Chains A and B, each alone.
Chain A
Amino acid sequence: MADVALSAEVAQFLYGEVLLLDERRWDEWLALYAEDAVFWVPSYTMQGEPVTDPELSINLIYITSRAGLEDRIYRIRTGTSEASVQMPRICHQISNVTAEAGEGGLITVGANFMVASWSHRRGQEFRSGRYEYQLARSEKGFLIRHKKVLPIEEITDGWFDVVTI
């Protein structure tokens, strides 16, 4: 059973996270992640199921440290990534937020997302799916230990990055 008060509190945190992405405040966004945070976007198998073991699979994204997320931002900021010189304008919607406190103070969170995106290059795009988090509490608020993003689409049209999903 989701904890209603906790879910409301976590929802505020998630709104804050995606606003940082929508506003491209990536350094503040990175600060929400634990040093050993995992950011996982499974790929789908040929049979149409998401892969279950990221270590032994090819994933759309499987990053196991904040430094790995920082690499993505570093690349965007080189200014020579053709896919990133013109970052799409994006707008996240988050809904169906549930949160439950579990062992070791970790909070398990589920939410649905939709990202609308617009760029001159690819026009309007929509991606939708499920977020799953493990959050810890720190003195500065919640800290993201684990984020799994599962897009509903098995075939990626174009591309996306950690900051546009």
Chain B
Amino acid sequence: MDTQLNDTSNDPGDFAALVDDRPEDGVFQVSRRVYNDPAILEAEYKNIFEANWVFLAPEGLLKEPGDYVATHIGRQPVFVIRQKDGGIGGFINACSHRGAMLTACRAGTMTEIACPYHGWRFNTDGQCTGIRARRAGWPEDDFDQSRFDLKPLPRLESYRGLIFASLGADVAPLNEHLGPITAFLDLFCAPAPHELEVVAGASIHTVNCNWKVLHDNGPDPYHAATVHGNFAATIVHRDEISGNTGLKKTETGRLAGRVAAGMYAPGNGHTAFWADKETPEVYPVWAMKEQIQKSLPAGKAKWALERSRHVTVFPNLLVNELASTYIRTYRPLAIDRTEISSWCLAPVGEAADLRAARLRKFEDFFMPTGMSTPDDVAIFEMANQGNMAAAGHPNDMSRGMAAATTGPDGPALELGIDPEMSSDQFTHEITLQGVYRQWVKMMAGGNG
């Protein structure tokens, strides 16, 4: 297939030339430069991560006033903190004096924030409350300390307990940005609103790959049969020799491709895919069947109980609803290095047997020391190496381009969403097409 990619363009700003998007010819190709050129990452920090909504952390990590999580938006250190009045504040994690980070921990509690450098103090609202030897430096009586208040993040909003922020002030409201993804987030641990907690512990690991190699994998059910066939075989073997039934059993219908499934490009670069559950009774959510069927319309109840759901929110969030609710965020550390942080969300007050099934299945699949994620990580690193091959083909993401439905399909209507594209094929790549259309748009300076 001929390619019209302008891989060697000397114009560093010509990002659109890196994605060959021709629906009329059934072509969707992405230059490998997007994965291997450090200049691209610099532009991504600026035009994507530091320009529009990014996911920061689950609210459940901020239980008591002063609890904080320190993270990054692109290159910039930030923190979110539970304030005295119960609200959530988000600030640049750099002192207003000479820029020292206010905390070097990933999370903790600080009811008063004391800068470790010259000892300036701030409250959880970000107000500067104390300057060491203030009068020696600024003797005036009417000195206005508020000019040293911490810099708040220009935009900060939560949806269903997931905290997002934007360094760009001029962006759409969060729920507008999320669009049809909100319908999926509404279903997590349905019947919503259902109080969720973050289970103790976290999965934090680093991978030698470009962040998009990882991001491309979230909306890619196509790889499961190849990469996770060994997981499915192991689980089938385990369940056979032990005679596991009910919650103890793990479903393999999705990995083996035996069930109805589909995917969406909902718009704004987000993605979703789903698969019917072959054995819905092995999932902890099945215990809430009656409540869910009572509280949701039939179509949505079916989604909540009988379909696994997998979404990505551009550029840095993945939420999977399998036996457990898995949330993952990631940030580029370098062109070829990415840090992944993941947590498990679970309903407050869940019965012990349901909780155990949820957590053990989470560990089996999602930990970097489990039986699936290591295979994903190994593949990410191989894909990243392969993507150094600028002299090879561009990456092809055109599967299903012609066959996909514009607008919603049947299951989408049941869920009440209106995605840009729908497909009833699990092995299609319309999700990735949506991702790279948004990438081009944002890299060209559009907020999407």
Residue of A nearest to B70 (CB): A46
5 closest cross-chain pairs (CB), A and B: A46-B107, A83-B374, A159-B374, A43-B201, A58-B201
Please tell me if B391 contacts chain A, counting CB pairs below 8 Å.
Answer: no
Which B residues between 341 and 394 are near A, CB-CB below 8 angstroms?
Answer: 343-344, 352, 355-356, 359-360, 362-363, 367-371, 373-375, 377-379, 381-382
A62 touching B369 in the complex, CB below 8 Å, given contacts A56-B199, A75-B234 = no
Please tell me if B3 contacts chain A, counting CB pairs below 8 Å.
Answer: no
A58 touching B367 in the complex, CB below 8 Å, given contacts A47-B108, A82-B227, A83-B375 = yes
A51 touching B205 in the complex, CB below 8 Å, given contacts A46-B69, A56-B355, A78-B233 = no
How far apart sit A159 and B370, CA to CA, in the bound complex (Å)? 9
Choose among A42, A79, A161 the residue that contacts B374 (Cβ–Cβ < 8 A): A161
A155 lies within 8 A of B375 (CB): no
Which A residues between 43 and 66 are near B, CB-CB below 8 angstroms?
Answer: 43-48, 51, 53, 55-62
Which residues of chain B have C-beta atoms less than 8 A from A156's C-beta? 203-206, 368-369
How far apart sit A36 and B242, CA to CA, in the bound complex (Å)? 14
A75 lies within 8 A of B230 (CB): yes
A81 lies within 8 A of B374 (CB): yes
Please tell me if B202 contacts chain A, counting CB pairs below 8 Å.
Answer: yes
Shortest distance in angstroms between B56's beta carbon and chain A's nearest beta carbon?
13
Please tell me if B106 contacts chain A, counting CB pairs below 8 Å.
Answer: yes
Which residues of chain A have C-beta atoms less than 8 A from B202's C-beta? 43-46, 58
A160 lies within 8 A of B359 (CB): no
Q: Mark B95-119, 1 if CB is under 8 A from A, else 0.
A: 0000000000111100000000000
A159 lies within 8 A of B377 (CB): yes
A58 lies within 8 A of B241 (CB): no
How far apart sit A47 and B108, CA to CA, in the bound complex (Å)? 5
A80 lies within 8 A of B230 (CB): yes
Chain A contributes a number of interface residues (CB within 8 A of B) equal to 41
Which residues of chain B have C-beta atoms less than 8 A from A59's C-beta? 201, 363, 367
Q: Which of B61, B339, B344, B360 has the most CB of A within 10 A?
A: B360
A67 lies within 8 A of B241 (CB): yes
Which residues of chain A have C-beta atoms less than 8 A from B314's C-beta? none
How far apart sit A75 and B108, CA to CA, in the bound complex (Å)? 38
Please tell me if A154 contacts chain B, counting CB pairs below 8 Å.
Answer: yes
Which residues of chain A have C-beta atoms less than 8 A from B194's C-beta? none
Which A residues between 131 and 165 are near B, CB-CB below 8 angstroms?
Answer: 154-161, 165
Which residues of chain B have C-beta atoms less than 8 A from A27's C-beta? none
Residue of A nearest to B235 (CB): A71
Which residues of chain A have C-beta atoms less than 8 A from B371's C-beta? 71-72, 75, 81
Which residues of chain B have C-beta atoms less than 8 A from A122's C-beta? 208, 381
User: What are 25 inter-chain pairs, A to B, with CB distance below 8 A?
Assistant: A43-B367, A44-B201, A45-B201, A46-B202, A47-B108, A56-B355, A58-B199, A58-B359, A59-B201, A60-B368, A74-B234, A74-B237, A78-B230, A80-B233, A81-B371, A82-B382, A83-B375, A154-B204, A156-B204, A156-B206, A156-B368, A156-B369, A157-B206, A158-B208, A165-B369
Please tell me if A11 contacts chain B, counting CB pairs below 8 Å.
Answer: no
A57 lies within 8 A of B339 (CB): no
Which residues of chain B have C-beta atoms less than 8 A from A67's C-beta? 238, 241-242
Residue of A nearest to B226 (CB): A80
Please tell me if B211 contacts chain A, counting CB pairs below 8 Å.
Answer: no
A57 lies within 8 A of B238 (CB): no
B368 lies within 8 A of A158 (CB): yes
Shortest distance in angstroms between B111's beta carbon and chain A's nearest beta carbon?
15
How far apart sit A64 and B230, CA to CA, in the bound complex (Å)? 21
Which B residues between 228 and 259 are near A, CB-CB below 8 angstroms?
Answer: 229-231, 233-234, 237-238, 241-242
Please tell me if B136 contacts chain A, counting CB pairs below 8 Å.
Answer: no
Shortest distance in angstroms between A153's beta carbon and chain B's nearest beta carbon?
10
B206 lies within 8 A of A62 (CB): no
B377 lies within 8 A of A57 (CB): no
Q: Mark A67-91, 1 if CB is under 8 A from B, else 0.
A: 1000110110011111110000000
